[in-house]
Amino acid sequence: MSESADIPRNLRAVHARIEMAAREAGRDPSKVTLVAVGKTMPAERIAEAIAAGQRSFGENRVQEAEAKWPALRSGQPGIRLHLIGALQTNKVAKALEIFDVIETLDRPRLAQALAREMERSGLRRECFVQVNTGAEPQKAGVMPDAADAFIRHCIDALNLPVTGLMCIPPVDEEPSLHFAFLREIARRHGLVNLSMGMSADYPIAVAFGATHVRVGTAIFGHRI
Ligand SMILES: *Cc1c(COP(=O)(O)O)cnc(C)c1O
């Protein structure tokens, strides 16, 4: 499966669908960044995507990214690496070294740790606040009714460089409701970036204003 994925062809196909969805929604396709999710994929497969011109990538674990990315990004200008998985406070320093964007800012203790470490290291990385739009107990993300206060706290009290929001809708619900909801929260706070949409629903996310879609399987094939 992942062995047989034709990565350059898949990238072209995903870009074509993004472009079509953007045009149908009256949006500029260049305002949508494809974040290729390479979690669990061996470095050689990711290198194929880089060779095909892909520049933004997502990983969900700090340790895995630390093992793969220093070599992958060396000599490759313009690579942007997004953290899309849960971040433990004891890995904040490492995460700021490896990642360009932290998409999973979702609780006060993490916000505090990020603010402190950014101040200490001087590594001010863009952050997206993850919102648990479906209020699912087992899922990460700030709960919807706490989102407004948390976003203000991160920006106003902690001076964190929050530029957007991220969500992962419940698997068996209509994603567009969640995308519209996330867009509305972002609008209230003047946040320009919306990270939403995965392999199953990224064209819908683009229609609802996604600036970043996180796509793994449709590019790299099924994870083992
Ligand atoms: C794995 C993952 C993705 C990509 O999922 P696919 O369905 O393979 O496209 C997107 N976002 C997050 C947060 C993920 O963990």
Q: Which residue ranges have their beta carbon within 6 Å of ligand 1? A: 37, 39, 60, 84-85, 168, 198-200, 214-218
Q: Is 168 exposed, middle or buried (0-12, 13-18, 19+ CB in 10 A)?
A: buried
In which band, very low, low, confident or very high, does the pLDDT at 36 lie, cut at 50, 70 and 90? Answer: very high
Question: What whole-number percentage of the chain has pLDDT above 90?
Answer: 97
Give the per-residue pLDDT at 8.
98
CA of 178 to the centre of ligand 1 (A): 16
CA of 215 to the centre of ligand 1 (A): 6
Q: What's the average model confidence in pLDDT over 20-29?
A: 98
In which band, very low, low, confident or very high, does the pLDDT at 22 lie, cut at 50, 70 and 90? Answer: very high
Give the per-residue pLDDT at 3.
55
Q: Answer yes or no: are the C-beta atoms of 114 and 92 closer than 8 Å.
A: yes
CA of 119 to the centre of ligand 1 (A): 30
pLDDT at residue 204 greater than cutoff 90: yes
Q: What's the average model confidence in pLDDT over 182-211?
A: 98
pLDDT at residue 141 greater than cutoff 80: yes
Q: What's the average model confidence in pLDDT over 33-54?
A: 97
Give 4-220's CATH code, choosing from 3.30.470.10, 2.40.160.40, 3.20.20.10, 3.30.1490.20. 3.20.20.10
pLDDT at residue 2 greater than cutoff 90: no
- By DSSP bridging, strand 80-83 and strand 126-130 are unpaired
pLDDT at residue 1 greater than cutoff 70: no
- Give the CA distances from residue 19 to residues 25, 50, 57, 64, in Å, rounded to whole numbers and listed in that order: 10, 20, 19, 31
CA of 157 to the centre of ligand 1 (A): 31
Tokens of 138: 């087992």
Question: What whole-number percentage of the chain has pLDDT above 70?
Answer: 99
Average pLDDT, rounded, for the chain? 97
Check residue 107 and give left, alpha or beta (phi > 0: left; psi -120 to 50: alpha): beta
Give the per-residue pLDDT at 4.
73
For the entire predicted model, the pTM comes to 0.97
What is the rounded CA–CA span in Å between residue 210 and residue 221? 23
pLDDT at residue 164 greater than cutoff 50: yes
Q: Which of 198, 213, 217 to probe ligand 1 with, by most ligand atoms within 8 A of CB?
A: 198
Q: Answer yes or no: are the C-beta atoms of 5 and 219 closer than 8 Å.
A: yes
Distance of CA 221 to the CA centre of its chain: 19
Q: Answer yes or no: are the C-beta atoms of 154 and 127 closer than 8 Å.
A: yes
Residue 199 CA: nearest ligand 1 atom is 9
Q: Answer yes or no: are the C-beta atoms of 81 and 65 closer than 8 Å.
A: yes
Give the per-residue pLDDT at 224.
76
Q: What's the average model confidence in pLDDT over 90-109?
A: 98
Higher-pLDDT residue of 189, 224: 189
Tokens of 109: 């203790």
CA of 41 to the centre of ligand 1 (A): 12
